[in-house]
């Protein structure tokens, strides 16, 4: 796999394109999380968001995983929400009911999720995909995704850059963007080059990395894309963050 | 004090009936592989399996022909992907899969534990998963008049679980990531438990806060070191990552799956025989303090 030189010093270090892409998406998502928040972390890319948030952007956040682990230090990538690496690095081992109860009581500030597909309204699919040949492919299912999307005070989604994942209508609505009570639901989706807000109900390009153009974003997605009048251009993650993300992704 | 120590063969034969509803303990941790292997070996069938997130032990039970139904919030190989076995069995019509969410499964087990017919929650009010589970029904809240979903209770016939230690009477001590295990066991009518160590009851009395399963519901205590292998057990051993990484390939089609069952279960009279067939030093390398 291609690796990019990020440090020309004595210890020359290279990082794969895949790591850089994941780190850019995760860093973009972490820019939506302020310090001291309680975060319910899904598995996959959300764990990298949690790692970057905890180590670089909002160090006093509280991390919760659906297995019941609380106050987790997310140093290395977990393969499941109950993995030994995060179980060892947690301050409290509760039950699954404990953490979902926190979620239902409204004590989770931010839910971090990924999905197979997201649509322009912020609905998520992690259940079934329809192929062009008319077949249906089953996926592992909701897990806690539906519950997090409905019950977290806000949900930030993080996705890889793949036009097949950004669709106008998802094939199956696992996690509807219809939150409970006055909670905010899916407020946005981060990907490796940009962040889309769902503030108006529909996806609007809200943030873009300074090394990308809006046309590049438009051509990389299947979305009917709107651009915010207050579009923000932000600096991509530093080499220090890219290096940290690379180490995190390799250690599982 | 009643001595409930027995072998997995005896426990499965005596306490698991065909067509039982079975809660499988362990969430990414402490998964009762040794008891599940014995269920397959004894060709139990018609079971309805209950779980929040279903690990690859469900592939074993489903591929072994033991399960007629599976109700869960998720199924697959954690961190690795899809379950080929469950997908194939659902497509061929031999397994009835009811998909829900992890919290709904948790609420239904907790209702069973509380001894009430349902617990209300706003989840599963909308989206394509809403209204697919017949035991979840819309009701009107008597206090707010708002519509809310009643998540119907589950009381499985039996729970299977692996834990760190127990006394002979079934005061079971479990620590590490708990997941859905305690609620699922307490909702169930009886509990079959395998443990790494049997300890004296006065040792249990020194640490009663670690006792998570009540002895009055535990009908069988099986001494089985590495009984959660290839998953992990907190303070005892790590997950065998290679096993999980190879699993998708080992179950990619019916022939490979049969070979997998043969080499892990049918070639062995019991779980210890299977452990002896593993590469030398593997279990040693997985020990908790060696990681």
Q: Is B166 found in the same domain as B139?
A: no
Q: Is B180 found in the same domain as B78?
A: yes
- CATH code (residue B171): 3.40.1080.10
Q: Is B86 found in the same domain as B74?
A: yes
pLDDT at A2 over 80: no
CA distance B154 to chain A (A): 15
Angstrom distance (rounded) from CA A132 to CA A124 = 20
The secondary structure of residue B31, as a DSSP letter, is -
Q: Is B225 found in the same domain as B167?
A: yes
**For residue A220, what pLDDT band results from cuts at 50, 70 and 90?**
confident
CA A104 to chain centre: 21
* pLDDT tens string B181-235: 999 999 999 999 999 999 998 999 999 999 999 999 999 999 999 999 999 999 9
CA distance A250 to chain B (A): 14
**For residue A6, what pLDDT band results from cuts at 50, 70 and 90?**
low
CB contact under 8 A, A143 and B127: no
Q: What is the ipTM of this complex?
A: 0.96
pLDDT at A13 over 70: no
Q: Is B146 found in the same domain as B160?
A: no
Beta bridge partners of A252: none
Domain count of the fold of chain B: 2
User: How many Cβ pairs closer than 8 A exist between chain A and B?
Assistant: 149
* pLDDT tens string A44-53: 999 999 999 9
Nearest CB to A141: which of B27, B74, B106? B74
Beta bridge partners of B137: B150
B3 located within any domain: no
Angstrom distance (rounded) from CA B94 to CA B47 = 12
Q: Is B162 found in the same domain as B241?
A: yes
Q: Is B182 found in the same domain as B83?
A: yes
The pLDDT of residue A5: 56
Q: Is B136 found in the same domain as B160?
A: no
Nearest CB to A84: which of B76, B181, B238? B238
Q: Is B196 found in the same domain as B54?
A: yes
B193 located within any domain: yes
- Residue A71, classified by CB atoms within 10 Å of its CB into exposed (0-12), middle (13-18) or buried (19+), is middle
**Is the bond into B149 cis (omega within 30 degrees of 0)?**
no
Chain A hits for B75, CB-CB cut-off 8 Å, are 140-141
B18 located within any domain: yes
Asked if B126 contacts B159 with a C-beta cutoff of 8 angstroms, the reply is no
Q: Is B73 found in the same domain as B163?
A: yes
Could you tell me the domains of chain A?
Answer: 13-250 (3.40.1080.10)
Nearest CB to B78: which of A80, A94, A181? A80
- Domain range for B12 is 8-100+155-290
Structure tokens at B192: 């079959």
B105 located within any domain: no
Beta bridge partners of B162: B194
B84 located within any domain: yes
B111 located within any domain: no
For range A235-243, the mean pLDDT: 97
Q: What is the DSSP string of B188-254?
A: SS-EEEEEEEE--HHHHHH-GGGEEE-GGGEEEEEE-TTTTTTS-BTTTB---HHHHHHHHHHTSSH
Strand stretches in chain A, DSSP E: 3-7, 13-16, 38-41, 62-64, 69-72, 90-93, 110-113, 117-119, 124-125, 128-130, 136-138, 154-158, 166-167, 186-191, 194-197, 204-209, 226-234
Asked if B83 contacts B55 with a C-beta cutoff of 8 angstroms, the reply is no
Q: What is the pLDDT along chain B (291 residues), one digit of tens a residue?
A: 899 999 999 999 999 999 999 999 999 999 999 999 999 999 999 999 999 999 999 999 999 999 999 999 999 998 888 999 999 999 899 999 999 999 999 999 999 999 999 999 999 999 999 988 999 999 999 999 999 999 999 999 999 999 999 999 999 999 999 999 999 999 999 999 999 999 998 999 999 999 999 999 999 999 999 999 999 999 999 999 999 999 999 999 999 999 999 999 999 999 999 999 999 899 999 999 876
B109 located within any domain: no
Q: Is B188 found in the same domain as B84?
A: yes
B1 located within any domain: no
CB contact under 8 A, B87 and A138: yes
Q: Is B277 found in the same domain as B144?
A: no
């Amino acid at each position: 796999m291609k690796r990019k030189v990020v440090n020309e010093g004595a210890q020359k270090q290279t990082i794969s394109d895949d790591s850089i892409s994941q780190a850019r998406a995760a860093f973009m998502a972490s820019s939506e999380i302020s310090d001291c928040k309680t975060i319910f972390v899904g598995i996959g890319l959300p764990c990298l968001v949690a790692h970057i948030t905890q180590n670089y952007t909002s160090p006093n956040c509280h991390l919760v995983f659906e297995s019941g682990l609380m106050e987790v230090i997310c140093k290395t990538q977990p393969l499941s929400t109950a993995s030994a690496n995060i179980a060892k690095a947690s301050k409290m081992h509760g039950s699954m009911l404990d953490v979902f109860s926190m979620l239902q009581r409204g004590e989770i500030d931010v839910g971090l999720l990924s999905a197979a597909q997201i649509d322009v309204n912020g609905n998520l699919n992690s259940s079934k995909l329809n192929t062009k040949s008319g077949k249906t492919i089953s996926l592992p299912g909701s897990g806690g995704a539906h519950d997090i999307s409905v019950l977290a005070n806000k949900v930030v989604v993080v996705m890889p850059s793949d036009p097949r994942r950004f669709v106008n209508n998802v094939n199956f609505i696992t996690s509807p963007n219809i939150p409970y009570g006055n909670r905010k639901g899916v407020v946005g989706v981060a990907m490796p080059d940009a962040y889309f807000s769902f503030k108006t109900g529909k996806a609007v390009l809200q943030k873009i990395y300074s090394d990308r153009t809006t046309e590049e974003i438009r051509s990389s997605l299947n979305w009917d894309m709107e651009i915010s009048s207050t579009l923000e251009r932000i600096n991509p993650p530093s080499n220090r963050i890219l290096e940290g993300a690379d180490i995190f992704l390799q250690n599982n | 004090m009643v001595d409930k120590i027995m072998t997995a063969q005896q426990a499965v034969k005596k306490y698991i009936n065909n067509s039982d509803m079975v809660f499988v303990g362990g969430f990414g941790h402490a998964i009762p592989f040794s008891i599940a292997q014995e269920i397959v070996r004894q060709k139990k069938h018609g079971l309805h399996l209950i779980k929040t997130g279903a690990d690859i032990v469900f592939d074993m039970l489903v591929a072994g022909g033991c399960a007629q139904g599976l109700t869960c919030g998720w199924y697959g190989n954690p961190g690795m992907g899809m379950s080929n076995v469950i997908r194939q069995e659902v497509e061929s019509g031999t397994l009835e899969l009811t998909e829900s969410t992890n919290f709904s499964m948790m609420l239904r087990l907790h209702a069973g534990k509380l001894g009430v017919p349902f617990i209300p929650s706003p989840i599963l009010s909308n989206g394509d998963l809403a209204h697919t589970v017949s035991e979840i029904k819309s009701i009107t809240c008597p206090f707010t008049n708002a519509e809310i979903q009643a998540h119907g209770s589950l009381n499985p016939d039996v729970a299977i679980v692996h834990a760190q230690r127990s006394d002979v009477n079934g005061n079971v001590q479990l620590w590490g990531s708990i997941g859905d295990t305690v609620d699922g066991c307490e909702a169930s009518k009886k509990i079959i438990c395998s443990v790494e160590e049997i300890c004296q009851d006065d040792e249990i009395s020194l640490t009663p806060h670690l006792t998570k399963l009540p002895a009055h519901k535990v009908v069988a205590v099986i001494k089985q070191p590495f009984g959660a292998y290839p998953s992990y057990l907190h303070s005892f051993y790590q997950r065998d990552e290679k096993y999980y990484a190879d699993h998708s390939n080992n179950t990619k089609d019916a022939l490979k799956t049969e070979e997998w069952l043969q080499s892990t279960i049918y070639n062995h009279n019991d779980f210890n025989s299977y452990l002896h067939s593993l590469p030398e030093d593997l279990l040693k390398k997985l020990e908790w303090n060696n990681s």
